[in-house]
Amino acid sequence: MPRVTRSLTHSLVEELGEAIVCGTYSAENPFPTEAELCEHYEVSRSILREAVKMLTSKGLLSARPRQGTWVQPEAYWNLLDPSVLGWLLNRNFSIDLLIEFTEIRRVIEPQAAEYAALRGSEAALRKIEDGITRMEAAERGEDDPLLSDIAFHVAILEASENRFFSHLKEFTSTALKICIRLTNRYKGVPLGDVNDHKKVARAIRDKNSKAARRHMSALLDESMELILRAKQDKKFK
């Protein structure tokens, strides 16, 4: 597919996906016909059909020959798809969705840290340390606090040498952009505690799998505690 065509298709997927998640198209507001969409978005039928195929793979649409295309109930949406999660988080922020995401993190990331300590390659461990270096730079105002924190957590997923964990890095990055920003704002700091992140990195470097799991669990327990307190205080908007 030519680059221009891919770009048009991606833009259309973004527009239609966000419109579906925001309720512009739903069971009550039927998905337009192919001809209507082509005219409205000024795209060819081939580009529209490719976009519909991609949205179908994300669980947002269902299509059948001679029966048309319709929006699927939210229960069918693939929440592990980074685009779907991003649209949901940008729709109307839901702290309950953030709580569910943190529950997933509390299951996966401590185990990923343990695996990283047991079998992470030298190159993978350097990425974790690069994340710490970036967080230290962010403390000095020389890097982005949010992106450096995300880089650290994604590096641990990759270092786990588990393909399923590694596959979650885009999903994790998408949700962390919201999660870290809000928990840090609630704490009144621009950046997560670098020393607590260093404890995880040091345990992984020392091949101390139990300590790596314990320190990562402590990080996520604090994050969940902040989210629950913020929900009670109604400070997340």
Tens-digit pLDDT profile for residues 19-55: 999 889 988 889 999 999 999 999 999 999 999 999 9
Task: Compute the mean pLDDT over every residue in the chain, rounded to the nearest whole number.
Answer: 90
**Widest Cα–Cα separation across the chain:** 61
More confident: 226 or 187? 226
Q: Which of the residue ranges 103-107, 174-178, 200-204 has the most confident prediction, judged by mean pLDDT? A: 200-204
Query: How is domain 93-233 classified at the CATH fold level?
Result: Four Helix Bundle (Hemerythrin (Met), subunit A) (1.20.120)
Distance of alpha carbon 31 from alpha carbon 27, whole angstroms: 8
AA identity, residue 60: L
Cβ–Cβ under 8 Å, residues 97 and 89: yes
Whole-Å CA distances, 145 to 192, 220, 221: 8, 18, 20
- As a dihedral over the C-alpha atoms of residue 32, residue 15, residue 180, residue 114, rounded to 10 degrees, the angle is 80
The pLDDT value given to residue 2: 52
Tell me the mean pLDDT in the region 209-217: 98
Domain 3-76 -> CATH class: mainly alpha
Would you place residue 64 in the very low, low, confident or very high pLDDT band (cuts 50, 70, 90)?
Answer: confident
Would you place residue 181 in the very low, low, confident or very high pLDDT band (cuts 50, 70, 90)?
Answer: confident
The pLDDT value given to residue 236: 56
Residue 75 CB coordination number (10 Å): 7
Residue span(s) of the chain under CATH 1.10.10.10 come to: 3-76
Question: What is the model's pTM?
Answer: 0.82
More confident: 125 or 96? 125
Q: Is 190 helix (H, G, I), strand (E, B) or coil?
A: coil
Cβ–Cβ under 8 Å, residues 101 and 179: yes
* Whether the predicted pLDDT of 178 surpasses 90: no
Would you place residue 219 in the very low, low, confident or very high pLDDT band (cuts 50, 70, 90)?
Answer: very high
> Over the stretch 131-163, which tens digit does the pLDDT of each residue have?
999 999 999 999 999 999 999 999 999 999 999
Cβ–Cβ under 8 Å, residues 156 and 128: yes
Residue span(s) of the chain under CATH 1.20.120.530 come to: 93-233
> Over the stretch 70-120, which tens digit does the pLDDT of each residue have?
999 999 999 889 999 888 887 766 788 889 989 999 999 999 999 999 999
